[in-house]
Chain A
């Protein structure tokens, strides 16, 4: 019997799990994908928002500001990169200028520090590649960039290290209130639990429905993104937004923590919640939108394209708290932007609400605050690298040429708590295959390493989920010989 069963290991689920893992509770973190972070958290802008955008008084506003405060400490504890690079919301005309000023005022109400409204020229002085047509901008110093999937994965990893059971490849198909507890039925088995936390992203409404909660709906909204080669880094040094609309924060141009350039997202409501395909019009829209802000954007330096699905709540605000329909259900639903920024605060807030509603929380004696640092051989001082390689030569073997990832680093990613079992799992953790050749050179090596370390045949190694096996068969099978 679990005390708490969390459905969904995106940033919300990850931070709720991490927060709960401080206490003497038996916690499951259930994920339908084979790796943590299979949904919305995997594909979004990766922005830590300053907090000027949400309407004052909303949960979004409250948790955005708190999340933004917590993020630097969280990034340190999780040992991932956070770059507080600042942002500009740029205006192109009088109406935009007005919106910029409104955002500024909203930011003041939301207690956002270090904002300024700048003239077009002042913006261009700071970011020389920004369009000549820009008339003004809201500068927010505290905006940051982070890898969204690294944030979700590392919070899940640290929670797992602190005793949370990570249940991968488990898709919840039904739940039953058994009176004294809830039975959660997945495609892999059934689990009993006192409480359920619903952090199921675009499927959160369906999950809530399983326990009779029909109080909200989730509207899937697709956003398409482009990633440019690291050679393009420096085209902007901060996040460049356009003024937001009802459909979101518009198309941005931003550096990534890993040194690439991110363009996008588009914003279109869709009906298929799993439709993560990119489209020709979507790509064109993202390019055109990015060029409007930064005309010198070089789309020929494209290295990959992807789409993410935002979980837009029917209520307009985050839906967080104990369900009115079933007191054993806590929702953390409708976590659209600024969900990533809010996520550490969501973890804190959900657990606070659970305590208030009577869930007994007793602190554990031992809790690992800090996720161990990943070894990155190519960014170490040479002496340190040499010592490491001497102790284990696999740290001296480059597997991914573009991102300079060694075999040792990949092996580490596989054997960490809630470690990688798939090609994409390795890619999201250590960036092997994420560079300009997009796995052309390293795919076969990573498959080989996964197979060896996990002791499964190479033909069973998957890209992402079940059914995404990378290889069809062995070319020459000794068993098949006559």
Chain B
């Protein structure tokens, strides 16, 4: 079945080109247009095939000098998993002290990606 054209906004530079990606009968990209430079092609390809994002959020800290520690996924995760991942992190509690880079939730939602802390939190 033919997939409809997808229009995305390029974030490779502030220009923000509206790029249109067309597909052939097999679902493969047949044409990319609207980009002013070649950076747009690479961005559009990954964005239409498997969009991923870094998730940043917070996790509760027990006995910390701050109530929360900020966290991120160590590498990008599929875009559609962002909300579910936050729900997972809401259930997570770590004990102080926490250091930058500590794994606070391993292999989140079986993505193979760890969630790591991005701040240092000392004990109360």
Contact = CB atoms under 8 A, between A and B. Distances in A.
Task: Assess A/B contact in the complex (Cβ within 8 A).
Answer: yes
A482 B91 contact: yes
A482 B93 CA distance: 11
Contact of A480 (B58, B62, B90): B90
B83 to A, nearest CB: 15
A204 B95 CA distance: 57
Interface in B56-94: 58-60, 62, 67-68, 90-93
Contacts of B93: 478, 481
A476 interface: yes
A478 B91 contact: no
A172 to B, nearest CB: 41
Contacts of A475: 58, 68
Contacts, number: 18
What's the interface size class on B, roughly?
Answer: 10 to 19
Name the residue in B60, B62, B67, B93 with the highest tally of chain A Cβ atoms < 10 Å from its Cβ: B60
Nearest to B92: A481
Contacts of B91: 481-482
B109 to A, nearest CB: 16
Contacts of A480: 90
A298 B10 CA distance: 43
- Which applies to chain A's interface (DSSP): helix, strand, loop or mixed? loop
B65 to A, nearest CB: 14
A476 B89 CA distance: 9
Contacts of A476: 58-60, 67-68, 90
A481 B89 CA distance: 10
Interface in A126-163: none
A408 to B, nearest CB: 21
B107 to A, nearest CB: 18
Contacts of B67: 476
Nearest to A480: B90
A475 B67 CA distance: 10
Interface in A441-482: 475-476, 478, 480-482
Interface in B39-70: 58-60, 62, 67-68
A118 to B, nearest CB: 60
Nearest to B67: A476
Contacts of A481: 60, 90-93
Nearest to B89: A476
Contacts of B62: 478
A481 B62 CA distance: 13
A481 B58 CA distance: 14
A477 to B, nearest CB: 8
A306 to B, nearest CB: 34
Interface of A: 475-476, 478, 480-482
The 3 A-B pairs with the shortest beta carbon distances in the complex, nearest first, are: A476-B60, A481-B91, A482-B91
18 contacts: A475-B58, A475-B68, A476-B58, A476-B59, A476-B60, A476-B67, A476-B68, A476-B90, A478-B60, A478-B62, A478-B93, A480-B90, A481-B60, A481-B90, A481-B91, A481-B92, A481-B93, A482-B91
Given A475-B58, A478-B93, A481-B60, 7 more contacts: A475-B68, A476-B58, A476-B60, A476-B68, A481-B90, A481-B91, A482-B91
